[in-house]
Amino acid sequence: MTILVLNAGSSSLKFRLFHMETLRPLMEAEEVLAQGKVERLGTEHARLTFRESESSTPRTEEIGAVALADAVAHLFNLLPDSVQTLDAIGHRIVHGGAQFHTPTRIAAATLTALHALTPLAPLHNPAGIAVIEAARQLRPDVPNVAVFDTAFHHDLPEIAALYALPRELSERLQLRRYGFHGISYRAVSERYFAHRGVPAEGSRLILCHLGNGASVCALRDGRSVETSMGFTPLEGLIMGTRSGDIDPGLLLYLIEQNHFTVEQLANLLNHQSGLLGLSGGSSSDMRDLETAANAGDTNAELALACFAHRVRKYIGAYSAVLGGVDALIFTGGIGEHSATMRARICYNLDFLGLALDPQRNADANGTEPEPIGAGDGLRVWIVPTDEERQIARETYALLKETQ
């Protein structure tokens, strides 16, 4: 079975073409026929990088200020002949609301329902929907499947999912903590269990997905029981440009005393805050901030310290929720590649058995599951995420089930 995965972000589009014959325990089993990404969408400097296989030399071309649909059409033209026998196209959709909590084959009614969820994830869902619509127009003969970031957290215990609002209001408007990064958490946890050859049953894990968007998840028996993002992806950790946790009274103050409109407040919290805001506007990129901090930039140092503090605070809270931790796992761009930030986060976590081995941490390359903890190393891990592969696996399973 040949499956194309399209993973749309607010300004990027990652894609990978898989050949799959069966689902195997190790996630590396599927053959990658082509892969690449489009970056800086919406600017005049949009760039497409393409590989004909995982091991081939990438080629890059500037594609200019193209719309998302045009970028999809462009990459379709680059795909190998195997795309002519495409069996399915899998998509990442960030917010599935209360309605969507399993992989779903796309029909006209599905798209209507997804459009209605746009206010819940305005930075993410519109891009995912636009890519689905473009793919359906380009290849109307091929089924499209949506896989949802919120699905992994669908069964959160009520004590973790509910906000302390009037029950009638919450039930009528479906106000609850949905959680995000679920595709990544499922991929990483399954890869961890397969790599170690241990069962999910009885396990207590804390996973930190750290990138421009960042969250933490507590897993018991391989299932999500707590997670830092909530009704939207804005709650929780400090992120690249998102504020994370903030006193709602502060927001009311800004509206009442400083006359912020809803639109201005949304822009402030989603685009001007987080690492970007704390650093004084210098950058939202962890790599830039670490370079600046090493050169003596006190604002950059403060931003990094605040980021690590917030993650560490959640790790402590989730250790209490789980009643102990078997392993702390880092994933995502920052989690996989920033040894400095991992060290900052694990500072003073020795009492939980989550101390790092400095040499293992420094030497880790973030391409394979690696233990980096002190002692036997097995209490702290890096496990690279692979959302595209996970989407392909869930798309494959749905098609096999419905055949």
Sign of CA dihedral 306, 379, 228, 103: positive
Q: Do 142 and 227 reside in the same domain of the chain?
A: no
Has residue 387 been placed in a domain? no
Give the single-character DSSP code of 58.
P
User: Which pLDDT tens digit goes with each residue over 270-297?
Assistant: 999 999 999 999 999 999 999 999 999 9
Has residue 293 been placed in a domain? yes
Has residue 278 been placed in a domain? yes
Q: For residue 23, what pLDDT band results from cuts at 50, 70 and 90?
A: confident
Query: Is 363 one of the catalytic residues?
Result: no
Domain CATH code at residue 279: 3.30.420.40
Has residue 54 been placed in a domain? yes
The pLDDT score that the predictor gives to residue 387 is: 94
3-state secondary structure of 329: strand
Q: Do 88 and 233 reside in the same domain of the chain?
A: no
How is residue 176 written in tokens? 């609850």
Q: Do 105 and 221 reside in the same domain of the chain?
A: no
User: Which pLDDT tens digit goes with each residue over 232-268?
Assistant: 999 999 999 999 999 999 999 999 999 899 999 999 9
Q: Do 121 and 210 reside in the same domain of the chain?
A: no
Q: Do 142 and 240 reside in the same domain of the chain?
A: no
The pLDDT score that the predictor gives to residue 274 is: 97
The pLDDT score that the predictor gives to residue 101 is: 94
User: Which pLDDT tens digit goes with each residue over 30-61?
Assistant: 889 999 999 888 788 889 999 987 778 889 98
Q: For residue 5, what pLDDT band results from cuts at 50, 70 and 90?
A: very high
What average pLDDT does the chain have?
93
The pLDDT score that the predictor gives to residue 259 is: 87
Q: Do 66 and 214 reside in the same domain of the chain?
A: no
3-state secondary structure of 382: strand
Sign of CA dihedral 288, 289, 291, 292: positive
User: Which pLDDT tens digit goes with each residue over 292-315?
Assistant: 999 999 999 999 999 999 999 999
Number of separate domains in the chain: 2
The pLDDT score that the predictor gives to residue 322 is: 98
CA 114 to chain centre: 19
CA 382 to chain centre: 15
CA distance 107 to 130: 14
The pLDDT score that the predictor gives to residue 120 is: 86
Q: Which of 114, 148, 182 is at the close of a domain? A: 148
pLDDT at 123 over 90: no
Q: Do 94 and 212 reside in the same domain of the chain?
A: no
Give the single-character DSSP code of 356.
B
The pLDDT score that the predictor gives to residue 231 is: 96
Q: Do 236 and 354 reside in the same domain of the chain?
A: yes
The pLDDT score that the predictor gives to residue 356 is: 97
How is residue 331 written in tokens? 């994933």
Catalytic residue among 149, 288, 376, 386: 149
Has residue 156 been placed in a domain? no
Q: pLDDT exceeding 70 applies to what percent of the chain?
A: 98
Instruction: Name which of 72-76, 142-146, 260-264, 357-361 the model is least confident about.
Output: 72-76
pLDDT at 116 over 80: yes
Has residue 134 been placed in a domain? yes
In 3D space, the residue among 211, 238, 234, 236 whose CA is nearest the CA of residue 226 turns out to be 236
Task: Please indicate whether residue 77 or residue 89 has the higher confidence score (pLDDT).
Answer: 89
Q: For residue 27, what pLDDT band results from cuts at 50, 70 and 90?
A: low
Residue 244 to residues 21, 212, 241, 248, Cα–Cα distance (Å): 41, 12, 9, 12
Q: Do 44 and 122 reside in the same domain of the chain?
A: yes
The size of the chain, in residues, is: 403
pLDDT at 135 over 70: yes
Domain region containing 91:
2-148
The pLDDT score that the predictor gives to residue 39 is: 85
Q: Do 285 and 202 reside in the same domain of the chain?
A: yes
Has residue 191 been placed in a domain? no
The pLDDT score that the predictor gives to residue 350 is: 96
Mean pLDDT of 2-16: 90
Q: Do 128 and 63 reside in the same domain of the chain?
A: yes
**DSSP secondary structure of 254-300:** HHHHH---HHHHHHHHHHS-HHHHHTTSS-S-HHHHHHHHHTT-HHH
- 270 CB-near residues (< 8 Å, 6+ apart): 123, 234, 241, 242
Mean pLDDT of 141-168: 97
Q: Do 130 and 211 reside in the same domain of the chain?
A: no
Has residue 400 been placed in a domain? no
The pLDDT score that the predictor gives to residue 77 is: 86
pLDDT at 25 over 70: no
**DSSP secondary structure of 116-164:** HTGGGSTTTHHHHHHHHHHHHHH-TTS-EEEEETTGGGTT--HHHH--S
pLDDT at 24 over 70: no
Q: Which of 113, 148, 183 is at the close of a domain? A: 148
pTM of the predicted protein model: 0.94
